[in-house]
């Protein structure tokens, strides 16, 4: 384990062009969070003005049929909206940048839809569903059709409820919702995402560690875009990079738990910054 070492210069809220110049010719690992998808109409958890939200935990989901109905009733409505979301300029800019690895804490699949190639979806993708009995994985689109048939009037009755960032909505009364079981074994269906209280699969974490660990030898940097780094799931990569002396740059509206470890902290829109960085790299490649 390398010892913690301070970076050569203190964190600064420098302008976009200063950070673009710093990153323009460096290998990059990029870590993204919910703030990157707000321009696609998906709200974030902890951005300025975001209301307090309490996602369902894994333990709560397993607690019984009432919790499972509540999850799927909300998610049924949220998916109908999240499923229509399209990549924004920030997603497209990151696809063009093609970093050594793109680590995303988002479950919306928009990086892949934008064309990013080397992606680790740290928390999985809400577009996939897994049976906790037989472990069969199926598409969320297919499940949505089943849910529509079982709950024909649900979407119309609850068209005005507010959407949340993890693909569900703000809805409390769900007793009359019908949640289907696995059509192979009758087991419990769960979105193939990491709930609060679950662990990220070790193979995903190790792939991310390997990419971060390679940055010192290549003169690269870790760029965080649109994450408050509130949970250790993402913050651990910032801490690992900092301990190795790798420059960390954070682009996020509002404070993050990694600010004290950042060589650069920029409070601006992710799409604006990533577009500028893409353009700078394009000019260098000519």
Domain ranges of the chain: 1-42+88-123+200-286, 49-84+126-193
Residue 276: the pLDDT is 96
- CATH fold for domain 1-42+88-123+200-286: Rossmann fold (3.40.50)
Fold: same for 1-42+88-123+200-286 and 49-84+126-193: no
Instruction: State the virtual CA torsion across 207, 209, 211, 212 in degrees, nearest 10.
Output: 160
| Residues 95/110, Cβ–Cβ less than 8 Å | no
Tokens of 105: 């804490």
Residue 118, Cβ neighbours under 10 Å: how many? 14
Residue 86, Cβ neighbours under 10 Å: how many? 11
Question: Which residue out of 76, 111, 123, 158 is catalytically annotated?
Answer: 123
Residue 6: the pLDDT is 37
Residue 74: the pLDDT is 84
Residue 161: the pLDDT is 63
Rounded CA-CA distance 81/29 in Å is 30
- Single out the residue of 6, 146, 123, 125 nearest to residue 76, CA to CA: 146
C-alpha torsion sign, points 162, 105, 196, 139:
positive
Residue 53: the pLDDT is 57
Statement: the pTM of the whole predicted model exceeds 0.75:
yes
Residue 12: the pLDDT is 44
Q: Please provide residue 264's backbone torsions phi and psi, each rounded to the nearest 5 degrees.
A: -135, 135
Rounded CA-CA distance 108/158 in Å is 22
Tokens of 119: 């992606």
Query: CA 60, 120, 99 angle in degrees (round to 5)?
Result: 145
Identify whether 158 is a catalytic site residue. Answer: no
Rounded CA-CA distance 73/157 in Å is 12
- Single out the residue of 227, 210, 211 nearest to residue 270, CA to CA: 227
Residue 160: the pLDDT is 60
Please check whether the domain covering 49-84+126-193 is classified as CATH 3.30.1600. Answer: yes
Q: What is the pLDDT along the chain (286 residues), one digit of tens a residue?
A: 333 333 334 444 457 899 999 999 999 999 999 999 999 988 765 545 544 556 789 999 999 999 998 889 888 887 777 778 899 999 999 999 999 999 999 999 999 999 999 999 999 998 999 999 999 999 999 998 999 899 887 766 666 665 554 555 555 567 788 998 999 999 999 999 999 889 999 999 999 999 999 999 999 999 999 999 999 999 999 999 999 999 999 999 999 999 999 999 999 999 999 999 999 999 998 7
Tokens of 43: 């709200």
| Residues 167/83, Cβ–Cβ less than 8 Å | no
- Judging by DSSP bridges, how do beta strands 124-131 and 189-193 pair with one another? antiparallel
Tokens of 225: 């875009």
Tokens of 23: 């990153």
Flag whether 270 is marked binding: no
């Amino acid at each position: 384990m390398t010892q913690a070492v301070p970076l050569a210069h203190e964190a600064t809220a420098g302008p976009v062009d200063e950070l673009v110049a710093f990153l323009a010719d460096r290998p990059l690992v990029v870590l993204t969070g919910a703030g990157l998808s707000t321009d696609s109409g998906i709200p974030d958890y902890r951005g300025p003005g975001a209301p307090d939200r309490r996602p369902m935990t894994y333990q709560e989901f397993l607690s019984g049929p009432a919790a499972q109905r509540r999850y799927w009733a909300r998610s049924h409505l949220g998916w109908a909206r999240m499923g229509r979301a399209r990549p924004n300029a920030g997603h497209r800019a990151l696809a063009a940048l093609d970093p050594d690895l793109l680590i995303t804490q988002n479950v919306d699949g928009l990086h892949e839809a934008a064309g990013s190639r080397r992606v680790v979806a740290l928390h999985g993708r809400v577009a996939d569903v897994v049976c906790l009995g037989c472990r069969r994985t199926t598409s969320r689109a297919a499940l949505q059709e089943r849910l529509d048939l079982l709950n024909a009037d649900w979407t119309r009755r609850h068209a005005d409820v507010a959407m949340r960032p993890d693909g569900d909505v703000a809805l409390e009364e769900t007793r009359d919702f019908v949640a289907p079981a696995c059509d192979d074994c009758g087991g419990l269906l769960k979105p193939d995402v990491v709930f609060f209280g679950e662990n990220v699969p070790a193979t995903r974490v190790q792939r991310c560690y390997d990419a971060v660990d390679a940055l010192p030898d290549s003169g690269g940097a870790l760029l965080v875009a649109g994450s408050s780094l509130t949970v250790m799931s993402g913050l651990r990569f910032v801490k690992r990079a900092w301990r190795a002396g790798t420059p960390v740059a954070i682009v996020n509206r509002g404070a993050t738990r990694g600010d004290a470890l950042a060589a650069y902290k920029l409070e601006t829109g992710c799409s604006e910054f990533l577009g500028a960085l893409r353009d700078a790299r394009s000019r260098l490649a000519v």
